[in-house]
């Protein structure tokens, strides 16, 4: 199999959720979200790279040690957005040998092994450049667009494009697999929609549309369950699962 390295974007401070520690360390049923993610990724990479904030580095290191998880911690010095966080991967010892990157947001506690296995299988079998899991929802804060053939043409993060009213549609769940060189090169370019209108941060999802426009192999798989949509933005998001 092609060399796949896991990357967890976990530099979120927890401020919006009123937490005094990184939100990836919030416990769901007695286990930190980050440890849940590490266990999910273990069949593919026992030494994932985790992007952390300067203030969260020590706490995350302590949590990983307590759970016996070995990982490469890379500090994102300033909160410049998910695109910037992904670009920090080039500071990881795992970077040089990676051909594909398995990326997971650090605040999604319920991604299922079956969903990940399906995404990985399709990504490799179809020789894709970018593959991700999706689900149809009534209120989509990210929106996948497709052409008449069903091919992905882009993904919009609604808030970052100045759209604050969620709409029904197909959204991602924070699980992506992509060819390292293709995506990181695109993230370094000056492309349209790179900077969010709301936060002025370097986004990530915008790059999908640019890859598709270049004729690269981009595939969205509507295989996610409702549970996998849960992410920790505020504590009420996970009230039913604690």
**211 φ/ψ sector (left φ>0, alpha ψ -120 to 50, else beta):** alpha
Question: In this model, does residue 18 exceed pLDDT 80?
Answer: no
How far from the centroid of its chain's Cα atoms is residue 64's Cα? 19
Q: Residue 2's pLDDT is what?
A: 67
pTM tops 0.85: yes
Under the banding of pLDDT at 50, 70 and 90, the label for residue 99 is very high
Average pLDDT of the chain to the nearest whole number: 93
| pLDDT tens-place string over residues 134-189 | 999 998 889 999 999 999 999 998 776 666 677 899 999 999 999 999 999 999 99
Q: Provide CB contacts within 8 A for 148, sequence distance 6+.
A: none
CA distance 11 to 116: 22
Least confident of 38-47, 129-138, 152-161, 233-242: 233-242
Mean pLDDT of 63-87: 96
Phi/psi at 9 (5° precision) = -90, 100
Tell me, letter by letter, the H, E, C secondary structure of 76-100: CCCCCCHHHHHHHHHHCCCCCCCCE
**Where are the chain's structural domains?**
1-109, 110-122+129-229
Domains 1-109 and 110-122+129-229 share a fold: yes
**Fold classified for 110-122+129-229:** Spore Coat Polysaccharide Biosynthesis Protein SpsA; Chain A (3.90.550)
Q: Strand, coil or helix: what is 182?
A: helix
CA distance 158 to 160: 6
CA distance 128 to 3: 14
| pLDDT tens-place string over residues 197-207 | 888 899 999 99
Question: In this model, does residue 1 exceed pLDDT 50?
Answer: no
Closest residue by Cα to residue 178 from 231, 219, 117: 219
CA distance 138 to 192: 28
Asked if residue 106 lies in contact with residue 53, where contact means CB atoms within 8 angstroms, the answer is no
| pLDDT tens-place string over residues 58-68 | 999 999 999 99
Name which CATH class applies to 1-109.
alpha beta
pLDDT cut 90: percent of the chain above it: 81
């Amino acid at each position: 199999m092609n060399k796949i390295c896991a990357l967890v974007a976990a530099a979120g401070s927890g401020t919006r959720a009123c937490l005094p520690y990184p939100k990836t360390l919030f416990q769901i049923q007695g286990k930190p979200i980050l440890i849940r993610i590490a266990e999910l990724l273990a069949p593919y990479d026992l030494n994932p790279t985790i992007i952390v904030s300067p203030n969260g580095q020590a706490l995350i290191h302590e949590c990983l040690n307590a759970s016996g998880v070995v990982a490469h911690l890379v500090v994102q010095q300033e909160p410049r957005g998910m695109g910037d966080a992904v670009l920090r991967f080039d500071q990881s010892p795992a970077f040089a040998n990676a051909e594909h990157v398995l990326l997971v947001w650090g605040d999604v506690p319920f991604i299922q092994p079956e969903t990940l296995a399906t995404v990985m299988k399709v990504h490799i079998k179809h020789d894709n450049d970018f593959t991700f899991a999706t689900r149809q929802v009534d209120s989509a804060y990210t929106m996948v667009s497709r052409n008449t053939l069903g091919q992905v043409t882009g993904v919009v993060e609604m808030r970052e494009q100045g759209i604050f009213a969620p709409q029904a549609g197909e959204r991602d769940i924070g699980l992506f697999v992509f060819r390292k060189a293709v995506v990181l090169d695109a993230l370094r370019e000056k492309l349209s929609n790179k900077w969010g209108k709301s936060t002025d941060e370097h986004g990530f999802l915008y790059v999908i549309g640019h890859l598709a426009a270049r004729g690269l192999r981009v595939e969205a798989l509507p295989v996610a369950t409702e549970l996998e949509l849960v992410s920790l933005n505020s504590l009420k998001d996970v009230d039913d699962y604690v």
